[in-house]
Amino acid sequence: MTSKTKRVGLLTGGGDCPGLNAVIRAVTKDLLRTHIEVVGIEDGFLGLIEGRMRPLGYDQVSSILAVGGTILGSSNKANPAKFATELDEHGEPIWRDVTQQCLEHAEANGLEGLVVIGGDGTHACAMPFVEAGLPCIGIPKTIDNDVYGTDVSFGFSTAVQVVSDAIDRLRTTADSHHRALVLEVMGRNAGWIALAGGLAGGADVILIPEHPFRVDRVVDKVERRIKRGRRSTIVVVSEGAKAMGQGPMVRRLDPTSPDPIKFGGIGAWLADEISTHSSVDARNVVLGHLQRGGTPVAFDRVLSTRFGHHAAKLWNQNVHNRMVAVQADRMVDVPIDESAGKQRLVPLDHELIAAARSVWTDFG
């Protein structure tokens, strides 16, 4: 007969994502229900390194479902396997492996396991603890929706809603002034937010990292729309989308030209290209952190609660070192290192791309 884990540490790592608090609440309430204590570790793995943690009870989590951000704080860079607090004589950081120090803090606080909410970077940080015999459960967090192993994660739907709302706002301005509007959204390697958000907002052009685009085709589309009497063109572009091709259209992508990122990002660059090469005035909006914060939409609150419940269930079943996931709309779990080094990109034959093309959206 196995004995149940009695005290678990919980941390959130990486960038902000709507629904983090909803997961914290669900994990905590569910574990408390089965008499497992929950300890919140502050600022991701940094808190584990520095021994900063505090008990989480009903009072700490009962009002946080609708609150954006994470009550535990997060940190992007604290990796126990490679951590620096000092610089050498050349000003370079002196990297050390502080895993043992973390394990001591865990033991001192009576932690018999960890629930780690984060992206693949955060889950990778958990592996040394798994190997050292401290069981871990991973919960995927990825606003870009690019964590391998799960079809979807919390926060993504909220980001898509923010994009859709933004397009609703921008469309009327674009119409009033016969303009093109370029909306730059999150997505360094994966275009899910641009694709779903653009589809929801009725964008005329969607540009994603998986499909390098031709600027001349975007300009053509803008011109064709004007000729047919359309009042405006809305372009949604992932921050990581890339232009390709030859000729004056992409001269700014030449090594001797300003880099689009330095130019202020792909959106600013593209708006400038359209203004320069078409008869239409183009403007640019970068949504940036507006996609990360704020209260999660209902879908993400439900998904966060399902994730939290599944993680707690695994603890209660003594199933360890798994990442909870959604596959084909069902809650499942996969090895915690499943997503290591992989990314979930948009396949170019994806049904959403076909759906977008069916309502006359171009992909450049």
Which residues are annotated as catalytic? 144
250 binds its own copies (CB under 8 A): no
| The one among 4, 6, 55, 66 contacting its own copies by CB under 8 A | 66
In the bound state with its own copies, the residue whose beta carbon lies nearer, of 82 and 230, is: 230
In the bound state with its own copies, the residue whose beta carbon lies nearer, of 114 and 170, is: 170
Q: Report 84-143 residues binding its own copies (CB under 8 A).
A: none
163 binds its own copies (CB under 8 A): yes
57 binds its own copies (CB under 8 A): no
295 binds its own copies (CB under 8 A): yes
> Which phi-psi region, left, alpha or beta, contains residue 204 (left: φ > 0; alpha: ψ -120 to 50)?
alpha
Q: Report 212-231 residues binding its own copies (CB under 8 A).
A: 230-231
Question: What's the one-letter identity of residue 9?
Answer: G
Contact 24, 61 (CB under 8 A): yes
Choices 3-11, 81-89, 120-128, 294-302; region in contact with its own copies by CB under 8 A: 294-302
168 binds its own copies (CB under 8 A): yes
69 binds its own copies (CB under 8 A): yes
Choices 84-92, 125-133, 301-309, 317-325; region in contact with its own copies by CB under 8 A: 301-309
| The one among 155, 197, 260, 364 contacting its own copies by CB under 8 A | 197
82 binds its own copies (CB under 8 A): no
Closest CA relative to residue 192, chosen from 89, 344, 38: 344
Q: Report 308-327 residues binding its own copies (CB under 8 A).
A: 308-309, 312-313
Contact 128, 81 (CB under 8 A): yes
| The one among 79, 150, 161, 339 contacting its own copies by CB under 8 A | 161
256 binds its own copies (CB under 8 A): no
- Between CA 362 and CA 364, with CA 363 as vertex, the angle to 5 degrees is 95
DSSP state for residue 290 in the 8-state scheme: G
Handedness of CA 352, 340, 315, 62 (dihedral sign): negative
Q: How far is the CB of 342 from its own copies (least distance, A)?
A: 20
Greatest alpha-carbon span in the chain: 75
| The one among 217, 223, 294, 337 contacting its own copies by CB under 8 A | 294
In the bound state with its own copies, the residue whose beta carbon lies nearer, of 70 and 339, is: 70
Three state DSSP letters for 330-341: EEEEEECCCCCC
In the bound state with its own copies, the residue whose beta carbon lies nearer, of 242 and 350, is: 350
Angle between the 298-316 and 20-33 helix axes, to the nearest 10 degrees? 40
Choices 2-10, 20-28, 121-129, 339-347; region in contact with its own copies by CB under 8 A: 20-28
Per the structure block, which two tokens stand in for 17? 């994502």
Distance (Å) of CA 10 to CA 47, 116, 118, 218, 354: 11, 6, 11, 46, 40
Helix boundaries (H) for 62-203: 99-108, 120-131, 156-177, 192-201
Contact 31, 138 (CB under 8 A): no
283 binds its own copies (CB under 8 A): yes
CA–CA distance, 303 with 16 (Å, rounded to integer): 16
Q: How far is the CB of 161 from its own copies (least distance, A)?
A: 5
Radius of gyration of the chain (CA): 23
334 binds its own copies (CB under 8 A): no
